[in-house]
């Protein structure tokens, strides 16, 4: 048997690995696909995080007497050939995997099966298996809240599978860059590997932050979120493990209102988008979920797009958020909604352009969540923000960064602007003849009226 690691880079709560251990499998493989990563707009900082976790995995598997072979192929289509070659070399036709959600990945696995391979597959990326949460018409929910209710009911009635940690496994540093020296990657070292996260970050979050998550998660100047999305995305940490920890700490959280439920709600949103993509695989082709928006004549002004990308829109909260993304490879979730609304509704730029830019820069770029979030902001998606709801970036800034602490961190040119003026400083700058900030690309009230007419006239 051969164990193939893909988007499941962990030994903890990994059903494919557990099966392999039960069957004394000695061979595992990981295949790096730089051309595929580039085609899917994978951020270089995410590539680095992936490869660091492959190195971690190689060290851990060696202690389990499993040799992980790391290969690199030119293109996505070459993965199947590499797998068939490896199966032949070790004299087996049995391949163990955890399934992947995306359409091309599923098609690739089907092609491998057609070559006579016995594909033994498991599901490791969600808490409740995809396809089990349906409405009374036996269909996927198209609104989050009833999905959440059904999801909670399912977990209460059926529980969920979870495989405890394998004890006695340590991390021996392996420089994977020596094995794969030519891959384009950015430094992700500010993000610790998952073993450190499980030992230190998650316990600290549960002990000191989760009870305040609801009140602090929208404040970008403080670390009020868990910061676990990047690890969930590459499969370095299991969502079932996180739910297990949460239930152990708050046994009634699935049934009773609790301050920590706000964080559980985010995990369920993740489930919602992954279940949605499983039911509607055409979303992977960047189609609008709501077809009535297919003919929107997006303006896609190149200068506006560049201003947004570079953080030079003249709206400080938007510009600071884009600088955070460009400089760190991550953006606070509240800010993701603000900048997405600004691009699609203030500038009338196709949401797909923003979706791609996020994927090119985010360390936690996840297709299902990223696509769902952008379509929510643009009003084109499932359970989306309605087209007539247009975030006011000035009032959002005042509400979530009232003292301008986050803005000043990423826009030091505004460091001397008073708190009450920093959210839209143009009158203050003009009055004091300063030259520290660029003009606004649009005026909010006019942009809002233009967006309302744009959606109303074209749907």
**Catalytic machinery residues:** 266, 269, 298, 333, 351, 374
Q: What is the DSSP string of 217-279?
A: TT-TTS--S---HHHHHTTSS-HHHHHHHHHHH-TTTTTS--TTHHHHHHHHHHHHHHHHHHH
Tokens of 320: 């600071």
Residue 412 DSSP symbol: G
Contact 37, 182 (CB under 8 A): no
Q: Residue 5 belongs to what H/E stretch?
A: strand 2-5
Distance, in Å, from the CA atom of 245 to the CA atom of 55, rounded to the nearest integer, reads: 26
Question: Between helices 261-279 and 144-158, what is the axis angle to 10°?
Answer: 100
Distance, in Å, from the CA atom of 116 to the CA atom of 122, rounded to the nearest integer, reads: 19
Distance, in Å, from the CA atom of 328 to the CA atom of 363, rounded to the nearest integer, reads: 9
- Taking the C-alpha atoms of 84, 119, 30 and 76 in order, what is their torsion angle to the nearest 10 degrees? 70
Distance, in Å, from the CA atom of 357 to the CA atom of 105, rounded to the nearest integer, reads: 22
Strand partners, 62: none
Length of the chain: 459
Pairing of strands 2-5, 27-32: parallel
Cα of 428 vs its chain's centroid, Å: 38
Phi, psi at 121, each rounded to 5°: -120, 150
Annotate 290-316 with three-state secondary structure: CHHHCCCCCCCCHHHHHHHHHCCCCCH
């Amino acid at each position: 048997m051969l164990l193939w690691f893909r988007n499941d880079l962990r030994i903890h709560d990994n059903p494919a690995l557990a099966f392999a251990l039960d069957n004394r499998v000695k061979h595992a493989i990981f295949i790096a696909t730089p051309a595929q990563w580039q085609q899917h707009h994978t951020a270089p900082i995410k590539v680095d995080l992936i490869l660091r976790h492959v190195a971690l995995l190689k060290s851990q598997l060696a202690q389990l007497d499993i040799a992980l072979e790391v290969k690199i192929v030119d293109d996505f289509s070459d993965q199947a050939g590499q797998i068939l070659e490896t199966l032949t070399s070790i004299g087996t036709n049995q391949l163990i995997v955890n399934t992947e959600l995306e359409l091309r990945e599923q098609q690739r696995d089907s092609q491998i099966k057609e070559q006579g391979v016995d594909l033994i597959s498991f599901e490791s990326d969600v808490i409740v298996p995809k396809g089990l949460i349906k409405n009374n018409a036996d269909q996927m929910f198209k609104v989050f809240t009833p999905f959440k209710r059904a999801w909670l009911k399912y977990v209460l009635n059926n529980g969920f599978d979870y495989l405890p940690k394998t004890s006695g496994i340590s991390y021996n540093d392996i420089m994977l860059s020596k094995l794969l020296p030519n891959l384009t990657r950015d430094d992700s070292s500010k993000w610790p590997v998952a073993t450190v996260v499980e030992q230190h970050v998650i316990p600290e979050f549960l002990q000191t932050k989760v009870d305040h998550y609801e009140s602090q998660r929208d404040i970008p100047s403080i670390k009020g979120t868990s910061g676990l999305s990047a690890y969930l995305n590459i499969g370095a940490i299991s969502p079932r493990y996180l739910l297990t920890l949460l239930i152990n700490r708050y046994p009634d959280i699935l049934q009773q209102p609790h301050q920590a439920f706000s964080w559980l709600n985010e995990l369920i949103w993740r489930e919602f988008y992954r279940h949605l993509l499983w039911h509607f695989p055409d979303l992977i082709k960047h189609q609008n979920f709501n077809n009535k928006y297919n003919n929107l004549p997006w303006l896609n002004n190149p200068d506006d797009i560049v201003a947004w990308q570079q953080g030079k829109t003249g709206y400080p909260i938007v510009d600071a958020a884009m600088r955070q993304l460009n400089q760190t490879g991550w953006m606070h979730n509240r800010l993701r909604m603000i900048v997405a609304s600004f691009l699609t509704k203030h500038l009338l730029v196709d949401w797909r352009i923003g979706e791609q830019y996020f994927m090119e820069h985010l360390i936690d770029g996840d297709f299902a969540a990223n696509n769902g979030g952008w379509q929510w902001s643009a009003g084109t998606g499932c359970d989306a923000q309605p087209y007539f709801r247009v975030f006011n970036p000035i009032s959002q800034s005042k509400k979530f960064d009232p003292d301008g602490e986050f803005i000043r961190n990423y826009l030091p040119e505004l460091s001397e602007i008073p708190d009450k003026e920093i959210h839209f400083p143009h009158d203050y700058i003009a009055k004091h003849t300063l030259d520290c900030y660029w003009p606004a690309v649009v005026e909010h009230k006019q942009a809002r009226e233009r967006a309302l007419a744009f959606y109303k006239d074209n749907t």
